[in-house]
């Protein structure tokens, strides 16, 4: 879920599969790269129910935790360059606030709809609880075609949205952040609009530009968090970094940072896929050079340091670690059998459907779940909020060290629980998250 992408112009983030798939090698590429038909809501609800049943939560408590606390839908009209008013829908869903102010990103995408925002909001509740940052879970979105819009139109939509949800957000109430297709600039507009109504309030959003109170280390935080998760997990599989081969699906903010940091540790990134294609090099892909190549607007398959391959070949490349860092539902019942890895570290929110999860469990592939592995972004967002509230700034070394401490501790807690209860890391993480939320809610007298 995540929440907080900072780079709207991340490599490969624009065109559709149909637009850009020019490879005659695979007629069925779209079928292989399309997310599963199951919705994010169904995926998250399935895992939540599996964990809540194990915990023996009473039905009434389960019903409270399954539904949202508040769902706001607003009309967001904007006069566009064609002279017409276009009307979009804006959503802010606050799932559960027992542990602190609501926290979660805002996504701009034509396919944003309430059910998906709901699912992502609930993931934030469990994620913030698993890593122990004092927040509840929220998510937002506007169903606007942001990639066709002028910056001035995006600004107008952003300001109108904040104006309309003003009453339900606040630095001690609900703190938005970037997500898919929103970035530091959008956060700056949000902060400015909120400031017009309430005075200068940097802590109202995270993922801001550094000049406006953003945190050092935020841009790389989710990728760096994935690497901390890998480093904790790898010794259990006897995998030193210099013998670790990695495949990355999705090479935007999360995937490219994870790739670059892993390469710095000595891992070999042997396969990469983005929306446009897939490449393999058994001797290792230079991820710094690939990031630059994509930033310059080039096609992934034209990268000189690797060979283009068919999508099936990308998925079945033999690796130690597979990192899905693209969309939800990308690994599903029809393609999970192809994945040839010892460990999967989930960068995306909900990238594995329940059917694929079952297949990975049967095949002994160790899955480090999203609500643990990709929590680095919200952890550093928490640091940003704390720095804003203190009117103080930390350097990047301090941010990364504190992130490492939280990720290591969280991994060990989830791993310990997984062993103790003989359940997957995912169910263990959900159990810990749910227990912490229930404890907070009961103590406050909500349940
Ligand atoms: P991004 O837009 O920067 O990158 C997405 C990448 O996925 C791009 O390389 C794109 O080409 C690729 N992609 C898109 N559709 C694809 C397809 N069908 N097949 C293969 N590749 C495809 O986004 P991001 O910020 O890196 O986020 C990636 C995922 O991680 C999302 O699920 C997001 O919710 C989650 N997440 C992000 C953060 C964060 O801090 N950015 C935090 C937590 C979770």
Two structure tokens written together for 389: 């509230």
Q: Pick the catalytic residue from 34, 84, 127, 139.
A: 139
Residue 184: predicted pLDDT: 94
User: What are the domain boundaries of the chain?
Assistant: 27-61+215-374+397-447, 70-204
Cα(326) to centroid(ligand 1), Å: 4
Half-sphere exposure in the Cβ direction for 357 (13 Å, CA): 21
Cα(41) to centroid(ligand 1), Å: 18
CB 347 within 8 A of CB 3: no
Residue 1: predicted pLDDT: 30
Q: Whose CA is nearest to atom 30 of ligand 1?
A: 348
Question: ∠ at Cα 168 (162, 171), nearest 5°?
Answer: 80
| CA–CA distance, 389 with 25 (Å, rounded to integer) | 54
Residue 38: predicted pLDDT: 84
Residue whose CB lies within 8 A of the most ligand 1 atoms, among 105, 285, 325, 335, for a mutation test = 325
- pLDDT for 287 beyond 70: yes
Q: What average pLDDT does the segment 267-286 reach? A: 97
Residue 12: predicted pLDDT: 32
- Does the beta carbon of 93 lie inside 6 Å of ligand 1? no
What is the dotted CATH code of the domain comprising 27-61+215-374+397-447? 3.40.50.720
The CATH number, out of the four listed (3.40.50.720, 3.20.20.60, 3.40.50.10860, 3.40.50.1110), of the domain defined by the range 70-204: 3.40.50.10860
Two structure tokens written together for 336: 């999970």
Residue 35: predicted pLDDT: 66
**Which is the closest atom of ligand 1 to the Cα of 375?**
43
- Surface-to-core class of residue 172, CB atoms within 10 Å of its CB (0-12 exposed, 13-18 middle, 19+ buried): exposed
Tens of pLDDT, residues 57-99: 999 999 999 999 999 999 999 999 999 999 999 999 999 999 9
Output 44-49 pairs: Cβ under 8 A, ≥24 positions apart: 44/119, 44/120, 44/122, 44/123, 44/350, 45/119, 46/354, 47/354, 47/426, 47/427, 47/430, 48/122, 48/126, 48/430, 48/434
Tens of pLDDT, residues 124-180: 999 999 999 999 999 999 999 998 999 999 999 999 999 999 999 999 999 999 988
Q: How confident is the model at residue 28 (pLDDT cuts 50, 70, 90)?
A: low
Two structure tokens written together for 246: 């990695």
Residue 39: predicted pLDDT: 87
Specify whether 164 is catalytic. no
Q: What average pLDDT does the segment 184-199 reach? A: 98
């Amino acid at each position: 879920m995540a929440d907080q992408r900072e780079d709207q112009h991340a490599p490969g983030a624009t065109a559709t599969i149909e637009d850009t798939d020019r490879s005659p090698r695979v007629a069925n590429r779209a079928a292989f790269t399309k997310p599963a038909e199951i919705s994010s809501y169904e995926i998250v609800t399935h895992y939540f129910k599996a964990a809540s049943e194990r915990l023996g939560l009473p039905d009434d408590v389960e019903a409270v935790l399954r539904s949202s606390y508040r769902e706001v839908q607003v009309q967001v009209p904007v006069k566009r360059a064609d002279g017409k008013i276009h009307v979009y829908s804006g959503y802010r869903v606050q799932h559960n606030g027992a542990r602190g102010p609501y926290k979660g990103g805002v996504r701009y995408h034509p396919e944003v709809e309430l059910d998906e925002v709901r699912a992502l909001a609930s993931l934030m509740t469990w994620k913030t609880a698993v890593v122990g940052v004092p927040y509840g879970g929220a998510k937002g979105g506007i169903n606007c075609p942001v990639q066709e819009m002028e910056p001035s139109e995006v600004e107008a939509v952003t300001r109108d949205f904040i104006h309309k949800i003003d009453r339900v957000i606040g630095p001690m109430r609900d703190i938005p952040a970037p997500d898919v297709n929103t970035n530091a600039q959008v956060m700056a507009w949000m902060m400015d609009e909120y400031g017009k109504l309430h005075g200068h309030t940097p802590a109202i959003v995270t993922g801001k530009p550094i000049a406006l109170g953003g945190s050092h280390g935020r841009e790389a935080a989710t990728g760096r968090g994935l690497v901390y998760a890998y480093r904790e997990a790898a010794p259990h599989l006897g995998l030193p970094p210099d013998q670790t081969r990695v495949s990355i699906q999705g090479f935007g903010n999360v995937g490219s940072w994870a790739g670059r940091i892993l390469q710095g540790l000595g891992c070999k990134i042997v396969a990469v896929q983005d929306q446009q294609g897939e490449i393999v090099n058994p001797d290792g892909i230079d991820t710094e050079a690939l990031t630059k190549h994509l930033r310059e607007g080039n096609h992934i398959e034209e990268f000189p340091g690797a060979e283009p391959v068919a999508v099936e070949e990308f998925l079945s490349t033999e690796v130690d670690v597979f990192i899905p860092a693209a969309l939800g539902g990308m690994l599903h019942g029809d393609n999970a059998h192809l994945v040839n890895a010892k460990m999967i570290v989930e960068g995306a929110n909900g990238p594995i459907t329940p059917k694929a999860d079952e297949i990975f469990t049967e095949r002994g592939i160790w899955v480090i779940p999203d609500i643990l592995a990709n929590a680095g972004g919200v952890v550093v967002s928490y640091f940003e909020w704390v720095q804003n509230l203190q009117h103080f700034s930390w350097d990047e070394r301090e941010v990364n060290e504190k992130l490492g401490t939280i990720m290591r501790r969280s991994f060990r807690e989830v791993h310990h629980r997984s062993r103790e209860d003989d359940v997957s890391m995912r169910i263990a993480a959900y159990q810990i998250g749910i227990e912490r939320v229930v404890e907070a809610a009961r103590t406050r007298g909500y349940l």
